[in-house]
Amino acid sequence: MAVMTRVQAAKPVSRPRHLTEPAWVRWLLIGVALLFLALMLILPLATVFAEAFKNGADLYFAALKEKNALSAIRLTLLVAAIAVPLNLVFGIAAAWAITKFNFRGKNLLITLIDLPFSVSPVIAGLVFVLIFGSKGWFGPFLSERDIKIIFAVPGIVLTTVFVTFPFVARELIPLMQAQGTAEEEAAASLGAGGWRIFWKVTLPNIKWALLYGVILCNARAMGEFGAVSVVSGHIRGKTNTLPLQVEILYNEYNFSAAFACASLLVLLALVTLGVKSLVEWLQHRKQE
């Protein structure tokens, strides 16, 4: 599942000796952590690039320039470009509703927002097949009108929206809850209308969390495999996103092409982490 924790390097605190473990315990703990990290994270990451470039850089770039690969990249970007803004708007709306108003079923709504995290992605994909597929609820209705959702781009977008649904809302809700409504009330008492309050008071207060949520949402939208795999139909050059393309190439023993595409996704992950750290750093500096 997605990483939802925000861990920042804590400032080193000088602890008094009676609270500090002996040196060998310290080194043992640090050693275990580093070893595990190297084995489970760094080694696989390095392997991706090593495998991708094994047959030379020319082959690597050729694999990326291949027609189907390019189409997969385009589709991945398109899906993210639709899903992320949708969830951005939805996330703000949901967080706003939950933190600024009191209404019946509020707790139910909070639980529902988490649903995509708790449901297996495969099930999420299957749900859409059961609704929009040719044998699904709306299947006859859609086929009569010649609208294709499953095994087509709309289905991929729908499932991606579903899977990445909670990221923005989850980032905003705790922050907005902690901030309360005092600043909005102050703005209202000074004569500001709802629109101005949102743009001048609320949004500046949540912008870092919002950006953070969008980054995570984007990373997941581009990397989602399970749910998308169920609804996509794996039509080469048409409904394959990057992760699906990687799988197909791998299954065809076309390892260097598979790893070339995979390296793009890894690169995306690294860029995401970089941007995320930058955002955190900027936010931290702002607060100082």
Partner 1 sequence: MHIQVKDLNKSFGSEYAVQDVSFAIEEGSLIGLLGPSGGGKTTILRMLAGLEEPTSGEIYFHGKRVENLPPQKRGIGFVFQNYALFKHMTVFDNIAFGLAVQKKPRKEAKARVEELLELTGLSGLGGRYPHQLSGGQKQRVAFARAIAPEPQLLLLDEPFAAIDAKVRKELRTWLREMINRLKITTIFVTHDQEEAVEVADEIMVINKGSLEQKGTPWDIYKEPQTPFVAGFIGESNLVEDCSRLKGFERERAAKGMIRPEFIEIFLPGEGTIVSALEPGTVRSTYFRGTVWEVEVETGPHRLTAYRSLEQDPLEVGDEVRILIHRLYRFDDHSGVMVENANKVDPMPVYI
Which residues sit at the interface with partner 1, rule CB under 8 A?
182-183, 185-193, 196, 200-201, 204-205, 287
Give the shortest CB-96-to-partner 1 separation in angstroms. 18
Cβ-based nearer residue to partner 1, 153 or 201: 201
> Identity (one letter) of the amino acid at 260?
A
Tell me how crowded residue 253 is: count the other CB atoms within 10 A of its CB. Answer: 7
Which DSSP symbol is given to 18?
G
- Let me know: does 179 contact 158? Beta carbons within 8 Å: no
Inter-axis angle of helices 203-223 and 153-164, nearest 10: 130
Cβ-based nearer residue to partner 1, 31 or 204: 204
Cβ burial, residue 118 (10 Å; 0-12/13-18/19+):
exposed
Tell me how crowded residue 188 is: count the other CB atoms within 10 A of its CB. Answer: 15
Give the shortest CB-221-to-partner 1 separation in angstroms. 29
- Let me know: does 275 contact 267? Beta carbons within 8 Å: no
Q: Tell which residue, 122, 82, 79, has the closest CA to residue 240.
A: 79
Give the shortest CB-202-to-partner 1 separation in angstroms. 10
Q: Tell which residue, 186, 221, 183, 190, has the closest CA to residue 85.
A: 221
